[in-house]
Amino acid sequence: MGEIEGIVSGVLEDVRTAGDAAVARYARKFDRSDLTEFEVGPTDREAALDALDPQTRADTEFAIDNVRAFAEAQRATIAPLDMEIRPGVHLGHRVIPIARAGAYVPGGRYPLLSAPIMTIVPAKVAGVDEVIACLPPNAHPAMIAGCHLAGADRIFRIGGAQAIAAMAYGTETVPAVDKIVGPGNAFVNEAKRQVFGAVGIDQLAGPSEIYILADESGDPEMIATDLLAQAEHDVRTRVGLITTDEMLARAVEDEVARQLNELATVDVAAAAWDDYGEIAVCADEAAMIAYSDHIAAEHLQIHTVDPHALALRLRNYGSLFIGPLASVVYSDKCCGTNHTLPTMAAGRYTGGLWVGAFLKVATHQWLEPEGVAAVAPPAVRQSRSEGLDGHRRAAQLRLDRLQIG
């Protein structure tokens, strides 16, 4: 067992058995917080809201409006179903919101006001009855205001693995949830991995990623700027250019070096570029597409002569940014698509967080006598061939009661 895995396992078990007392111990140990009451009450919520700079509040509400509108449009595409698949056999599904969701809101070095928007707003649009938000005790007060504006029903000052444990198992004050969403550090990620099964999770998030596909039409300054904008997230951010033009590749490399000299976050961005930066020159567009689909980047931008045509040929990515005017920063902050996205090539099998993540599509069926006449005989025969006598009897009983066959 690795060090992080072992630490997290202990935290989870302590919180599961000791509840709030364990949460308080870990708050003192990891967050240097002596809080004994974790919930942010109405007075503190209002105080955080009042302290929010008016322009920051307006910008936050702008982002909330966009994320909500897009989530509502997505929700409208998910419809219930009822059909008669053959005479007398009726099948269907209902679209059911989960009852309670937990949103982990990371603290980090800066107050990321977009974080609660991306997890809380889609849950409320989905119709989740209660959304619980947890954020570290030392999180910026503006983050409490962000949770409030996004629609969190209850907010708790609990961070790290202990927050995941509290939401997964419940404590005296924190209710157990059905699904936990939201990114965090390595301890939060490991905690989500370990509680999965007892509760649902959205995904396991790795370091952020951006790749840009470009041909000879690419603008070196713009490409370098977008790469470094993402690189400043974390020293482990993966950033890359995939291009069919060697001259562009060299120009972007030079431009990254130039911009790093004037970037305020150079310590982080330069480390990410040095350790995880990549420029790949491909023989043609087909090779560029194949390599991109192999990478399955979290964020994928297209800077080509016909970006919309190329977009239709791509399969694996977290979110796609078509054309040079579309930047990851707009999605990260406020344009409406969700920024909680698959990393570490998970884009090969899943998309990002969305309103559907908070919905269950649950099937149902009902039969009329003619439907029983159609499906029971093969069910009887299959059950007999499999040696499942109870199954056979259950299928046969309905035939017998209806005096069919």
Residues taking part in catalysis = 298-299
Asked whether the beta carbons of 244 and 284 are under 8 A apart, the reply is yes
Q: At what angle do helices 266-276 and 246-260 cross, to 10 degrees?
A: 150
Q: In this structure, which amino acid lies at residue 292?
A: S
How does 98-114 read in b/e, with b if 16+ C-beta sit within 10 Å? bebbbbbbbbbeebbbb
Closest CA to 22 of 156, 158, 191, 184: 158
Q: Who's near 349: CB < 8 A, 6+ residues apart?
A: none
User: Do residues 151 and 182 make contact, with C-beta atoms less than 8 angstroms apart?
Assistant: no
Q: How many whole angstroms separate alpha carbon 318 and alpha carbon 350?
A: 8
* Radius of gyration of the chain measured on its C-alpha atoms: 25
Tokens of 186: 């390595």
Tokens (6 digits) for 299: 């964020």
The token pair at 329 is: 């920063």
Which amino acid appears at position 305 of this protein?
V
Nearest residue to 186 via CA among 386, 7, 401: 7
Identify residue 37 by its one-letter amino acid code: E
Token couple for 354: 């969305």
How far is residue 273's CA from residue 286's CA, in Å, rounded to a whole number?
A: 26
Query: What are 252's two structure tokens?
Result: 């972007």
∠ CA 134-138-143, rounded to 5°:
55
Cα–Cα distance measured from residue 106 to residue 185, given in angstroms and rounded to the nearest whole number:
8
